[in-house]
Structure 1
Amino acid sequence: MAAVNIQFDPNLVDESKSLEILVPATILTILIVSSTTTRLLTKLYLRRRLGIEDYFIIVGLAFNLTGNILEMRCVHNGFGRHLQFLTMRQRRVVRKFTQYDIMCAGVSIWAVKMSISFFILTYLANVHRRFKWFIYGLMVMSTLASFGQLIAWGLQARPLEKLWNPEVPGTIASPHPLFVVHITTTVIGGIIDVFYALSPIYIIGRLQMRLRRKITILSLTGSGIVIFILSITRLIFVKTFFDLDYSWSLCEQFIFSIFERNLAEFVADLPVLYHLLRRISERLEGLKASLKGRNNEAKNRSDSSKENEFSLVTIGAAVTHPPRIAALGGFRAYGRNAQISGFEAEAFEDELPLREDSPHAPEENGAIVVKTDVDVWSENENSQAREERNKSIIWPLE
């Protein structure tokens, strides 16, 4: 469809659909830039080399961003308004950018399909080798359909500039071949999308793995059904290519095209993004468990220090107010654990540090045997003399 002049219709209102195009184009641009960049950085962070599927997704990102920018430029020049309200310059710019946007959409969708194909070959070809040649066949079909559409697009006019600049000498071909090729390409692309979305049900369903993991993988791959629905819905508006008021009538067609090609790239990034989110979740769980372990360790240390403090207080009380001993005897101490033998203490059983320089502390099989005579205090003995006597026996507490 060449740039033409149309008759002015006074019944038309000068309204715009610009927000319907700008809002999704802006949001999806941020989405695909974030997802693809995260995908590439994740692989580099994990020290994995970029594969051929990553290079194709980079190509898809480049053409997707170009298409989104062209959409925004079209809106800036009046796309989304009726053609009769645009100047001749705006009509030419809109016509030119919409044509280039069709080319960018075709290349970006093809690159994304190639990326998904190589991804499946990389991870599943060795498991199910019979799918290998079938996937290669789908790749050939997708390539032929996409480049067939590009060839039909490039042959619309000779030279191509004639499409948007009627002053350029040349010829314009019938739009029907491009119309037929566009429908054929969309149908073939839809079949491939369905296969990529549903084939893992058979492939993964026969593998031995946890049900939860199967559901997760099938959810990631099954999201490609959304792309199939968008591409088929876009066919409803394909007849708008023949409408002379193209700046207004092509809006719905281009809105579905924006969603289709951008979401296709996001779906292709999902497996790597899911892997990243799972690793982050595992790290957070590990960090949480580590912090919980440290808190428990600190609590145990606190309880241990309280017990040690209680022991020191008990020992101090034993030094200041020693228990009355009912008989004479000796005791053997193993480190901190004292075994009392030969006598019983009244309500007292605790560890007492021994003097290292005691002449009566021979070692016996790693244990310290202390033999000592203990006097029996009477009730009337002076308390001060009792304390001095106790210090000479037990002090210092080290």
Structure 2
Amino acid sequence: MASPFSPTELAYLEAHKNDSRVPEIRWVYSVPIVAATISTAMRLWAKRYGRNGITLDDYLIIFATICLIGQCASGLGFGPPHGMGRHVIVVSDHDQMMVRKGDYVFSHFYDIALVSVKLGILAFYYRVFVHPVFRRVVLATAAFVLAWGIGITVTLFLACRPLAAYWDVNVKGKCLVMVTFVYFTNISNLITDIWIFLMPVPMIWHLQLQTKKKMLLSLIFCIGLATCVVSSIRLTVVLGRGSADFTWYYVPLGAYSVFEPLGGILCTNLPIIWHMFRKRKGMVMNASAFKTHDSNSNSTPTVGSRRERFAIALGITTRDRTQNDSGNRTMLGADTAAGGAGDWQRLESMESQKPDPSIWTTVERVDTGGLEEGPSEVQLKPGMKKTVWNVRK
């Protein structure tokens, strides 16, 4: 059997037959498993913490994460143990067959993971944007992506007749030109990615928001264009698939093939996680501010706004100079409802500090909703309010 290598290529392979890319393969396939699993788990935690419920886009991203894990597992299982990452001249015929078989399984996981990520992003668009025309565009794009995924999956199943000829060179059969098929898959995938990630930009710029916020939202939605860069780079290394030294040239192709769906998963997970962390941080800060106010509630209140100073000068205010105010009474009343000996002691302390009746008197006003004010003895009816002031005599 004639060698597929020229004398120059054979001399190069002989000189570099001890070279190895195995360590590169191990970390290239291990990092996506960890990153995708952690980010998807944190996405689900964020949705549960925010009580938003699990929606269709979440299920699709979960499925895409499972496919990515399967993709990396097949690369690790069929790769380094069978000579992937080494030059083909040092790899046995059986191991070469196992590498091709692993590539077949790997390709199916790759295609399904890409389709799941795209459909997850489109499902998110459909849920967030309610414009009917935009939703129809989303549904049309989702139908195209689904048809694209089914088409390449079926084509891959029919790549060789019989199918065993795909990985076993001893089986005689008819096969498609896989380099052409992979070029078509990558080019159509790149065009679809650009279209999907730019889709929401016109909708954002029609929102009633400041230009700065529109630009920020557009940037967030266009972060996914980074995966288009990975697709473009992957397209440049597809030619290695047709090389006779496939056990060596499959390594960069496999690396870009796992980082492409990983990029899509991260681009959909990280904004949700970041938003939830911001929301949680704001809740913690508000709780801290409330505790600080509660701990200082017995201190002398400060007079802040000009309106408050003007009201005190007139002797009409909701704050009194015996260090009692409506805010303290409201907070203590709410705390007392929860029960506890400490709260009752605070309530008694507050009662002991009531305004001096020789200085302050109580004035009540009944708001009848546009009618004349009535006396305090008027019975409150629906739509009526009663306001109470402490007024200096």
State TM-score, norm by structure 2: 0.69
SS at match of 1:250: helix
Which residue pairs with 1:189 in the alignment?
A: 189
Which residue pairs with 1:154 in the alignment?
A: 157
- Could you tell me whether the CA contact under 8 Å between 1:162 and 1:170 is conserved in 2? yes
Q: 1-side partners of 2:169 and 2:62: how far apart?
A: 36
CA change 1:220–1:226 in 2 (3 A) is same
SS at match of 1:22: helix
1:236 aligns with 2:236: yes
Which residue pairs with 1:86 in the alignment?
A: 91
Aligned amino acid, residue 137 of structure 1: A
Q: 1-side partners of 2:291 and 2:96: how far apart?
A: 64
Q: 2-side partners of 1:144 and 1:184: how far apart?
A: 15
Q: Aligned to 2:81, which of 76, 94, 117?
A: 76
Q: Aligned to 1:99, which of 100, 104, 107?
A: 104
CA change 1:28–1:287 in 2 (3 A) is farther
CA change 1:215–1:292 in 2 (3 A) is farther
Q: 1-side partners of 2:295 and 2:28: how far apart?
A: 48
Which residue pairs with 1:349 in the alignment?
A: none
CA change 1:291–1:136 in 2 (3 A) is same
Greater mean deviation of Cα atoms: 107-116 or 150-159: 150-159
Q: 1-side partners of 2:36 and 2:157: how far apart?
A: 28
Give % identity: 20
Which residue pairs with 2:134 in the alignment?
A: 131
State TM-score, norm by structure 1: 0.68
1:24 aligns with 2:28: yes
CA change 1:52–1:170 in 2 (3 A) is farther
Quote how far apart the aligned CAs of 1:293 are: 3.0
- Deviations 1:113-159, CA, capped at 9 Å, x for gaps: 001111101111x2x32122222222222222222222222222233
- Could you tell me whether the CA contact under 8 Å between 1:39 and 1:273 is conserved in 2? yes
Which residue pairs with 2:179 in the alignment?
A: 179
Mind listing any 5+ residue stretches in structure 2 that lack a counterpart? 301-321, 323-355, 359-393
SS at match of 2:199: helix
- Could you tell me whether the CA contact under 8 Å between 2:234 and 2:256 is conserved in 1? yes
- Could you tell me whether the CA contact under 8 Å between 1:6 and 1:84 is conserved in 2? no
SS at match of 1:105: helix
Q: 1-side partners of 2:47 and 2:284: how far apart?
A: 20
Which residue pairs with 1:252 in the alignment?
A: 252
CA change 1:109–1:45 in 2 (3 A) is same
- Deviations 1:304-331, CA, capped at 9 Å, x for gaps: xxxxxxxxxxxxxxxxxxxxxxxxxxxx
Which residue pairs with 1:35 in the alignment?
A: 39
Q: 2-side partners of 1:219 and 1:92: how far apart?
A: 45
SS at match of 1:10: helix
- Deviations 1:331-373, CA, capped at 9 Å, x for gaps: xxxxx9xxxxxxxxxxxxxxxxxxxxxxxxxxxx966xxxxxx
- Could you tell me whether the CA contact under 8 Å between 1:223 and 1:267 is conserved in 2? yes
**Superposed CA RMSD:** 3.0
Q: 2-side partners of 1:107 and 1:34: how far apart?
A: 20
Greater mean deviation of Cα atoms: 273-282 or 18-27: 18-27
Which residue pairs with 1:118 in the alignment?
A: 123
- Deviations 1:223-268, CA, capped at 9 Å, x for gaps: 1111111112211111112111111012111111121111111112
Greater mean deviation of Cα atoms: 52-61 or 108-117: 52-61
Quote how far apart the aligned CAs of 1:67 are: 0.4
User: What are the within-5 Å matches in structure 2 for residues 325-340 of structure 1?
Assistant: none
Q: 2-side partners of 1:151 and 1:116: how far apart?
A: 24
- Could you tell me whether the CA contact under 8 Å between 1:63 and 1:108 is conserved in 2? yes
CA change 1:16–1:135 in 2 (3 A) is same
CA change 1:143–1:183 in 2 (3 A) is farther
- Could you tell me whether the CA contact under 8 Å between 1:52 and 1:118 is conserved in 2? yes
SS at match of 1:204: helix
Q: 1-side partners of 2:144 and 2:182: how far apart?
A: 14
Q: 2-side partners of 1:12 and 1:63: how far apart?
A: 35
CA change 1:138–1:90 in 2 (3 A) is same
Which residue pairs with 1:11 in the alignment?
A: 15
CA change 1:213–1:32 in 2 (3 A) is farther
Aligned amino acid, residue 135 of structure 1: V
Aligned amino acid, residue 98 of structure 1: D
- Could you tell me whether the CA contact under 8 Å between 1:80 and 1:248 is conserved in 2? yes
Q: Aligned to 1:60, which of 60, 64, 71?
A: 64
SS at match of 2:201: helix
Structure showing greater radius of gyration is: 1
